[in-house]
Amino acid sequence: MPTVPPTRNLALDLMRATEAAALAAARWVGLGNKEEGDRAAVEAMRLLLNTVPFRGRVVIGEGEKDQAPMLYNGEEVGTGGVEMDLAVDPVEGTRLLALGRPGAISVIAAAPKGTLFNPGPGFYAAKLVVPPEAKEAIDLARSPTENLKEIAKALRKPVRELTVFVLDKPRHQALIEEIRAAGARITLQTDGDVAGALAAVLPGTGVDVLMGTGGTPEGVIAAVAVRALGGGMQMRLDPQGEEEKWNLIHAGYSLERVYTLEELCAWDDTHFAATGITDGPFLKGVRYEGGLARTESLLLRGETRTLRRVEAWHRMEKLRAISAVPY
């Protein structure tokens, strides 16, 4: 049987960046200042990304160049090598971080150049995410009730035993009412739909489905992880204002088109890393014990569908002595 030599798993390098961002942001947990927590994570992530042996280009970042220190769209990082597109969120759930609530994570997704969906001027999208067993059962063109029935059938459980992750936003009032009328349970979360998508695909989280409208950047980041885990996902642009709607239509985007997972992430050779900042359904947050800090990370490699969980203990005085990051 033919064999090929092992290739570099960039997720291991990316994990150092999400760990650094999580450690820097964790100092701001519960202090009520999401901007400074985000700023600390961005600066730490940028510093570590610039040590990775690749030519990374941020295609989904946090802001534009004149809003530094954000990792802006088009920013290039790395020391050189293979060309990769990056989707980054140094703190997914800045409000969760500021209020000390569960579910804040630091996350990076990487894929070969040109293989990630570009949402253009679209900021919001309707999403549907399910575990591998139900990936053939979903159709975003159907009603939530119809989807829940098909998902339940695929998962071999009644609808009343499904748990659906939904962002607790005014725009979801009708969706929440329909899910409850269908008999499914709901976990309402104020933020964090990348974490919600992961929870829907990973076993043992207590979440079976993600439904509802969230950010398009978070949708693309989630798509990389969902594809690597073999799950199912569909997305449709869902502008939340007339200006966003006008911009999308005049940029040539269809508001009716349902994008498949393969259109959101067009290649299997992907790398994904997430590190917990505050405790969540599948990752524990940063913990301090004496002079040590503990982190927990999730790594995914799309080509081999390898999932790694990494627990790390960091000796803080050593990090502070050698790093520019204000840990």
Measured in degrees and rounded to the nearest 5, phi and psi for residue 235 equal -145, 145
Which residues of the chain register pLDDT less than 50?
Answer: 65-68
| The predicted structure's pLDDT at residue 66 | 44
Q: Which of 147, 125, 128, 142 is nearest to 213 (CA)?
A: 125
| The predicted structure's pLDDT at residue 65 | 45
| The predicted structure's pLDDT at residue 2 | 53
pLDDT tens column, 88-104: 999 999 999 999 999 99
Residue 13: CA count within 13 A, CB half-sphere? 18
Tokens 């659906």 sit at which residue?
164
Alpha-carbon span 144 to 127, nearest angstrom: 11
CA distances from residue 167 to 93, 176, 193, 202, 299 in whole angstroms, order as listed: 12, 10, 7, 18, 25
Alpha-carbon span 265 to 129, nearest angstrom: 14
Q: Which of 122, 126, 13 is nearest to 60 (CA)?
A: 122
**Considering the entire predicted model, what is its pTM?**
0.92
